[in-house]
Amino acid sequence: MNKLEAENARLQERVEEAERQLINATLREREARAERNDWKALAERRKEALEPERLAQAFHEAYEELAPQFGYKTREASAVPWADVPENNKRLMIATCERVARAAIEEEGK
């Protein structure tokens, strides 16, 4: 192998190594994007789960379902589907859930 062929072989090796590095970088970038998208989706689901009205509705439904298991009978006026809960009771539960959610988020940020 002459000097020119040897130099061409070295250059070809460098090209192949650069291509391998590019492929690896592309794979790492794809993995990083997928991970970022997963975190963004999780954050969005969390935000929705902590939305005060959704949280209040879930709390109401769970509370009404679980109360008998604890020997408790809820008031007839509030022992109804969420859509039929008296408006003042609904506003109170939403405001309470908003305060609790805000406190939980602030505590998590510390």
pLDDT given for residue 22 in this prediction: 93
Domain coordinates in residue numbering, the chain:
1-46, 50-110
Using the predicted structure, report yes or no on whether residue 46 has a pLDDT greater than 90: no
pLDDT given for residue 2 in this prediction: 85
Burial of 54 (0-12, 13-18, 19+ CB in 10 A): middle
pLDDT given for residue 50 in this prediction: 76
| pTM for this predicted structure | 0.57
Confidence label for 96 from pLDDT (cuts 50, 70 and 90): very high
Distance CA 79, CA 36 (A): 42
